[in-house]
Amino acid sequence: MYGSAATVDSIDCTKGKIRAVVNRSLVPEDPRHAENTVEWLLKLDPDADEALQIAALGHDIDRAIEARKVQRADFGDYDAFKAAHARNSAIILKEIMDTCGLAPGMQEEVYRLVCNHEVGGDPRTDLLKDADAISYFDVNLPLYYERNGWEETLRRCEWGYRRLSARMRPVAANMSYDQPELNALLERAVGEASASALNDGVLKRD
Ligand SMILES: [Fe+2]
């Protein structure tokens, strides 16, 4: 489906430009997180197509562009902030995909996936959401903790754990870190997220 030379070139161009932007991010975990989200995507679905791989690589691209990124302080609600971040990343990716001449159908799919990657809603977007969410626990958490401290990281972990699918929650819960306090933090986050999910019946429905 994506076999022609021009298509392969446009995909390579898009991935190369995304990497160039993300590698300049001032958020230290961004480059590793982008690659690691692709790795998790392919672990969860070895047949994940190029649109999914591009979306995984670029889903957080707005964080890498200081002049354009949405600011947490501008949003009272964390979910509203995340929705704005997702849309802004999709808009930036659209510009890159246009520059590289990526096929319109693939562009639309990448745009759609990235716009919805925080919340999911269909099997493909849910897959991207799961890869992104588990990657936070795999590679982001230690650096996030260094910057933001216990309380904020605990809140972020609870939010991230609730966002995971039922099949990926045990994977996150079994992560282990070099720093003992991070293992304690994870255990606390999993406990609190599970307790609040039981209270509102979320785990029963999963
Ligand atoms: Fe992400």
Record the tokens describing residue 117, joined without a space: 């990657």
Predicted confidence band at 4 (pLDDT cuts at 50, 70, 90)? confident
Average pLDDT, the chain: 93
CA of 130 from ligand 1 middle (Å) equals: 10
CA of 100 from ligand 1 middle (Å) equals: 23
DSSP string covering the chain: ---SHHHHHHHHHHHHHHHHHHTT-SSTTHHHHHHHHHHHHHHH-TT--HHHHHHHHHTTGGGG-TTT---GGG-SSHHHHHHHHHHHHHHHHHHHHHHHT--HHHHHHHHHHHHTTTT--SHHHHHHHHHHHHHIIIIIHHHHHHHHHHHHHHHHHHHHHHHS-TTTHHHHHT---SSHHHHHHHHHHHHHHHHHHHHHTHHHH-
Predicted confidence band at 205 (pLDDT cuts at 50, 70, 90)? very low
Q: If you compute the radius of gyration of the chain from its CA atoms, what whole number of angstroms results?
A: 17
> What pLDDT, on the 0 to 100 scale, is given for residue 168?
97
47: helix, strand or coil: coil
Ordered structural domains, the chain, with CATH: 5-205 (1.10.3210)
* Entry pTM: 0.92
The mean pLDDT value for 21-49 works out to 97
The mean pLDDT value for 13-31 works out to 97
Nearby residues of 11 by Cβ (< 8 Å), 6 or more positions away: 2, 50, 54, 100, 102, 106
CA of 133 from ligand 1 middle (Å) equals: 7
CA of 103 from ligand 1 middle (Å) equals: 24
Would the pLDDT of 31 be above 70?
yes
Cα–Cα distance for residue pair 196/194, rounded to 1 Å: 6
User: What are the tens digits of pLDDT across the range 131-173?
Assistant: 999 999 999 999 999 999 999 999 999 999 999 999 999 999 9
CA of 110 from ligand 1 middle (Å) equals: 15
Predicted confidence band at 7 (pLDDT cuts at 50, 70, 90)? confident
Record the tokens describing residue 30, joined without a space: 């961004």
CA of 5 from ligand 1 middle (Å) equals: 30
CA distances to 45, 92, 125, 172 from 58, rounded to whole Å, are: 18, 9, 14, 22
CA of 132 from ligand 1 middle (Å) equals: 5
Predicted confidence band at 6 (pLDDT cuts at 50, 70, 90)? confident
